[in-house]
Amino acid sequence: MSSPTPVIYLDNNATTRVAEEVVEAMLPFLKENYGNPSSTHTFGGKIARSVKRAREQVAALLNAEPTEIIFTSCGTEGDNAAIRAALAANPQKKHIITTQVEHPAILNLCRKLEREGYTTTYLSVNEKGMLNLHELRANLREDTALVSVMAANNETGVIFPVERIGQMVKDRGILFHVDAVQAVGKIPLNMKNSSIDLLTLSGHKLHASKGVGALYVRRGVRFRPLLVGGHQERGRRGGTENVPAIVGLGKAAELAIANFEAEITQVRELRDRLELGLLRLIPHCQLNGHQGMRLPNTTNIGFKYIEGEAILLSLDAYGICASSGSACTSGSLEPSHVLRAMGLPYTILHGSIRFSLSRYTTAAEINQVLTVMPQVVEKLRAMSPFNSETDESQGWLQERQQDLREKDESLKAVSF
């Protein structure tokens, strides 16, 4: 086994370390077991049996039937396939309901669909990142084809009440898709007697490799493939299966089931220690997102009067990996669309950091972060032009706020 990289990795909502057991399970399929599962010879048949087993393992994680699982290449593909399939099932319906805080895989697809003639309602969230189900009810229409809501938010960890939402849309001929990429393995998901029709998950957020995911399609839901080709996945997704990654995803699902209780208690404990420690040790900071309705591994904290990007750079020098939002928007200085939707004030919006833990996070790592962060924040605040509520800093602040409002307006027109 190679030695672990010398980083403190607290960015598990961006991607996770591949479990050693998963690597071991994958290796034979990168080496001697290279056959094509569609081949009729015995060599290929053996591979097909391994894919079948992986399908059973993923189905077990969701308490679904193996025939309800389609392997995909990633969460983004699953989201696209689910939404396109739901719309194709009801071609006369042209309305979609989703939320303002979805992943770009959903938001940018909806933007594209609007150019194709669909209309989208983006449900708002309150300052804790929670949906208002009355708003959902008020927006259900005769021509609503699909409701797509994430199970848990990647940036704040806030959990949405998907079963309750499903109950509301059920029996109205509306399909219900759930992006569960962040939720799988972290909160229980049970497709038996569920109101969910379609559900997306991704391997690399679950200690499997990149390049694999799965889409759950409830039995009886009409499905049209996104990738048209061979008869793989019972005609629902063309393309020769990524066998090593699929076998690895099966193993990751098995590990997630076996370790579920232990993991969420241990991870939650460390997350709480980190969160409470930071909030206590550092003045002028606050938790972003509802405290209770949250994934056990995620904490998103706003540090007033400093830039999140500056915090990240300082942490990076200590080998500490965190994020200022989704990986897809970091690198640009646009504040997170999730925190903006929550209506957070300017100083929080620009100074927020997400720490996301995993089963591999240790108490020693959390202690190290608790030692480093107060120094980092103090140092940055000392250099900050708005480190106190002076007149000068207020003026600067107002100027920046005006900038942001203008930018917000222009952004609304283009993208999230």
Ligand X SMILES: *Cc1c(COP(=O)(O)O)cnc(C)c1O
Which residue of 80, 144, 182, 329 would you call a contact of ligand X, by CB under 6 A? 182
Structure tokens given for 380: 């940055």
Binders of ligand X in range 91-120 (CB under 6 A):
103, 105
- How far apart CA 406 and CA 403 sit, in angstroms, is 5
Query: Which residue, among 124, 78, 75, has the nearest Cα to 97 in the 3D structure?
Result: 124
CB 273 within 8 A of CB 363: yes
154 binds ligand X per the rule CB under 6 A: yes
337 binds ligand X per the rule CB under 6 A: no
Please report how close the Cβ of residue 157 comes to ligand X at its closest, in angstroms.
11
Residue 328 bears catalytic tag: yes
Side-chain half-sphere exposure of 50, counting CA atoms within 13 A: 27
Residue closer to ligand X (CB basis): 14 or 59: 14
CB 196 within 8 A of CB 218: yes
Please report how close the Cβ of residue 215 comes to ligand X at its closest, in angstroms.
12
CB 109 within 8 A of CB 86: no
Please report how close the Cβ of residue 245 comes to ligand X at its closest, in angstroms.
11
Residue closer to ligand X (CB basis): 159 or 315: 159
Could you tell me the maximum CA-CA distance found in the chain, to the nearest angstrom? Answer: 79
Residue closer to ligand X (CB basis): 103 or 236: 103
CB 220 within 8 A of CB 186: no
Please report how close the Cβ of residue 257 comes to ligand X at its closest, in angstroms.
20
Which range binds ligand X by CB under 6 A, 108-116, 118-126, 202-210, 248-256?
202-210
- How far apart CA 93 and CA 15 sit, in angstroms, is 36
Binders of ligand X in range 340-399 (CB under 6 A):
none
181 binds ligand X per the rule CB under 6 A: yes
* Options 110, 285, 321, 328, the catalytic residue: 328
Give the helix ranges, DSSP H, for 72-141: 75-89, 104-115, 133-139
178 binds ligand X per the rule CB under 6 A: no
Instruction: Output the DSSP codes for 152-191.
Output: B-TTT-BBP-HHHHHHHHTTTT-EEEEE-TTTBTTB----
Sign of CA dihedral 137, 182, 415, 411: positive
Which residue of 35, 37, 75, 302 would you call a contact of ligand X, by CB under 6 A? 75
Residue closer to ligand X (CB basis): 82 or 376: 82
Residue closer to ligand X (CB basis): 200 or 361: 200
Structure tokens given for 39: 């081949």
Residue closer to ligand X (CB basis): 106 or 377: 106
Residues contacting ligand X: total by CB under 6 A: 15
Residue closer to ligand X (CB basis): 35 or 129: 129
Which residue of 16, 57, 76, 144 would you call a contact of ligand X, by CB under 6 A? 76
Which range binds ligand X by CB under 6 A, 16-24, 43-51, 61-69, 70-78?
70-78
Binders of ligand X in range 231-260 (CB under 6 A):
none
74 binds ligand X per the rule CB under 6 A: yes
Give the helix ranges, DSSP H, for 230-304: 232-235, 243-281
**Residue corresponding to tokens 């990142």:** 129
Please report how close the Cβ of residue 216 comes to ligand X at its closest, in angstroms.
14
Please report how close the Cβ of residue 401 comes to ligand X at its closest, in angstroms.
29
- How far apart CA 28 and CA 244 sit, in angstroms, is 8
Residue 14 DSSP SS3: coil
Q: Indicate the residue whose CB is closest to ligand X.
A: 75
| Per-residue binder mask for ligand X (CB under 6 A), 205-224, x = binder | x-------x-----------
Please report how close the Cβ of residue 123 comes to ligand X at its closest, in angstroms.
16
Please report how close the Cβ of residue 242 comes to ligand X at its closest, in angstroms.
13
- How far apart CA 348 and CA 336 sit, in angstroms, is 11
- How far apart CA 105 and CA 175 sit, in angstroms, is 18
Instruction: Output the DSSP codes for 192-233.
Output: TT-S-SEEEEEGGGTTS-SS-EEEEE-TT-----SS-SSSHH
Residue closer to ligand X (CB basis): 76 or 314: 76
Binding residues (CB under 6 A) for ligand X: these are 74-76, 79, 103, 105, 150, 154, 179, 181-182, 202, 204-205, 213
Catalytic residues: 328
